[in-house]
Amino acid sequence: MGHDGGPNIDSGLRPPSTSPDSVQRAGLRPLRFTTESPNPLRKEKKVISRRSPTHDRHFGKRHPRRFNPLLCEDLTEQILGAAIEVHKTLGPGLLESAYEECLCHELQERDIAFARQVELPIVYKDVTISCGYRADMVVADRVLLELKSVDKVLPIHEAQLLTYLRLSGKRVGLLLNFNVPILTQGIVRRVL
């Protein structure tokens, strides 16, 4: 804008100065570019890798702990569809074993591979100990299922699912509580 309020037509005008003095006179704070955290109590360290993000992929190695929220998404959708079908047919209030049997039948009809009552041994100081821990189901050797028929999913049930995931070496687990009016209220999905 020109001095008279009209458009600035003179192309000979330079843009306003951005020197530190002119910024202070205008009442603005100068921009600072730092790598420090704005919170002085929180120290952030940047880890700089010499490898490119795709380096390990090219050499056939995977990053086992890289978080991927969509891990086994298609498979979990198929499992949940089968579980919802079982719950629609039977409703709440039965024993866990009845739901397990019917879910196995539903997965078999959908041609989805699964294993029931999979033993989960504990490895303690290079010794494998069979303590009787069993996962209710493992679907397609990728998703661990823990079935419940309880009034409310408690933190101990979620801890059990996470422990079974660690013992089995699987990354995705579903905790399905069939004792709810709508099955979507009884689904817990965890990814390690």
Lowest mean pLDDT among 63-67, 73-77, 113-117, 152-156: 63-67
C-beta of residue 56 within 8 angstroms of C-beta of residue 49:
no
Q: How confident is the model at residue 52 (pLDDT cuts 50, 70, 90)?
A: very low
Give the start-to-end residue ranges of the domains of the chain: 73-191
Measured between alpha carbons, how far is residue 108 from residues 78, 120, 177 in Å? 12, 23, 21
Rounded to whole angstroms, how far apart are CA atoms 137 and 99?
12
Q: Are strands 172-177 and 143-148 parallel, antiparallel or unpaired?
A: parallel
Q: What is the mean pLDDT of residues 132-159?
A: 96
Q: Which residues contact 135 (CB under 8 A, 6 or more apart)?
A: 117, 118, 120, 144, 145, 146, 164, 168
Q: Does the pTM of the predicted model rise above 0.85?
A: no
CATH number listed for the domain at residues 73-191: 3.40.960
Average pLDDT score over the chain: 79
pLDDT digits (tens, 9 = 90+) for 82-141: 999 999 999 999 999 999 999 999 999 999 999 999 999 999 999 999 988 999 999 999
